Amino acid sequence: MCGRFVITSAPAALRQLFGYVEQPNFPPRYNVAPTQPIPVVLMENGARHFRLMRWGLLPGWVKDPKGFTLLINARSETVLEKPAFKRAIRRRRGLIPADGYYEWKVEDGRKQPFFIHRADGAPLGFAALFETWAGPNGEELDTVAIVTAAAGEDLAALHDRVPVTISERDFERWLDIRGDEVDAILPLMTAPRIGEFAWHPVSTRVNRVANDDDQLLLPISAEEMAAEAGAAKPKKAARKAAAGPADDGQGSLF
């Protein structure tokens, strides 16, 4: 699953890597969350373009968005059958530039966040599916979901799902929607190779969307993790007594 991610590479470097014609200038983001606008690279009229879309796919056939589940991820195993994704996988594929993402692992009864990134430090492109939702008053909203796959042997230690990342050599193949066939892109929807990604524990400050700074990426020690766990215990007990289990803030997995 992917419920938070990071974009820290310079805009010029991402433009060179993904090859879109626009020249957007945007600040680094250290805690990108669902429902926020995120960059998506797509193919249109024979060229790659940069678009901002809401993270959380909304199919065109949805009548009332308020009553529809937030689709931040799309399972690779079922995208050809699920009504929300079966058209997008054929005609609306994109790439989301990123430099890593966060995952949470339960340790000693609490969720410990980890920052996951390419071992070589290079930026990456998440496989994405997008749709444009049209409202009853003529409004339009571009929305997107990140494709996920079953985790490989190494990343499975953190979570059983991982975002699908498309290598630079396969960008063209993933973005090519000139035909209606998907056989060529199905092999791309797999987990990263073992050893391709590295990770380290980070502060639980990342749990709050309002926190968006470079300190979120810093590794924390076992002593710091223990201190955070101790500080969180009284608050956790109070919330449980008042309102039951708290949501982890990672959004919904479809």
pLDDT digits (tens, 9 = 90+) for 84-134: 999 999 999 999 999 999 999 998 888 999 999 999 999 999 999 999 998
CB 28 within 8 Å of CB 172: no
CB 114 within 8 Å of CB 103: yes
What's the pLDDT band for 251 if we cut at 50, 70, 90? very low
Q: What's the confidence (pLDDT) of residue 108? A: 81
Q: Report how far residue 199's alpha carbon sits from residue 219's, in angstroms, rounded to the nearest whole number.
A: 9
Amino acid of residue 76: S
Q: Report how far residue 77's alpha carbon sits from residue 150's, in angstroms, rounded to the nearest whole number.
A: 9
- Chain-centre distance for alpha carbon 52: 14
Average pLDDT of the residues in 150-179: 95
pLDDT digits (tens, 9 = 90+) for 34-81: 999 999 999 999 999 999 999 999 998 898 888 888 899 999 999 999
CB 123 within 8 Å of CB 99: yes
The catalytic site residues sit at 2, 103
Q: Rounded to the nearest 10 degrees, how much is the dihedral formed by the CA atoms of 202, 203, 208, 212?
A: -70
Q: Report how far residue 203's alpha carbon sits from residue 51's, in angstroms, rounded to the nearest whole number.
A: 31
Mean pLDDT of the chain: 90
CB 6 within 8 Å of CB 115: yes
Q: What's the confidence (pLDDT) of residue 225? A: 86
Residue 89 structure tokens: 């996988």
More confident residue, 178 or 126: 126
Q: Report how far residue 148's alpha carbon sits from residue 182's, in angstroms, rounded to the nearest whole number.
A: 17
Q: What percent of the chain is predicted at pLDDT more than 90?
A: 76
- 15 pLDDT above the threshold of 50: yes
Q: What's the confidence (pLDDT) of residue 107? A: 83
CB 130 within 8 Å of CB 53: yes
